């Protein structure tokens, strides 16, 4: 995963946790995007990147598919640790 060039913003509160979980699990953005799509979230690479950078709000369906794709409870996405 590339190093973030732009600072995190505040349009969502789970982006940092998604990045952390992906790093911990060794999941690339491309793999996460593909998994989310199998669970019904039609998300593009740029949208996922903006979500992780907290420059984009997102929908409840995306939150649900993020949790399923990362195999965590939804509450885990709200923990920045």
pTM higher than the cut 0.75: yes
Q: Which residue has the tokens 């907290």?
A: 54
pLDDT in tens, 19-59: 999 999 999 999 999 999 999 998 999 999 999 988 998 88
- Number of separate domains in the chain: 1
pLDDT at residue 4 above 70?
no
The answer to whether residue 35 sits within a structural domain is yes
Strands (DSSP E) contained in 37-76 are: none
Tell me the pLDDT band of 10, cut-offs 50, 70 and 90: confident
Which tokens belong to 64?
């649900």
pLDDT of residue 68: 97
The answer to whether residue 7 sits within a structural domain is no
Rounded to whole angstroms, the Cα distance separating 28 from 25 reads 9
The answer to whether residue 1 sits within a structural domain is no
Which CATH number covers residue 29? 1.10.260.40
Whole-Å CA distances, 12 to 20, 26, 38: 15, 23, 23
pLDDT of residue 46: 92
Q: How far is CA 20 from the centre of its chain?
A: 9
The answer to whether residue 10 sits within a structural domain is no
Rounded to whole angstroms, the Cα distance separating 64 from 49 reads 17
């Amino acid at each position: 995963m590339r190093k973030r060039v732009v600072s995190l913003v505040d349009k969502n509160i789970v982006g940092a946790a998604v990045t952390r979980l992906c790093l911990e699990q060794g999941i690339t953005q491309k793999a996460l995007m593909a998994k989310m799509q199998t669970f019904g979230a039609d998300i593009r690479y740029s949208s996922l990147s903006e979500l992780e950078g907290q420059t984009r709000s997102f929908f409840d369906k995306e939150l649900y598919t993020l949790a399923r794709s990362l195999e965590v409870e939804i509450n885990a996405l709200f923990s920045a640790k």
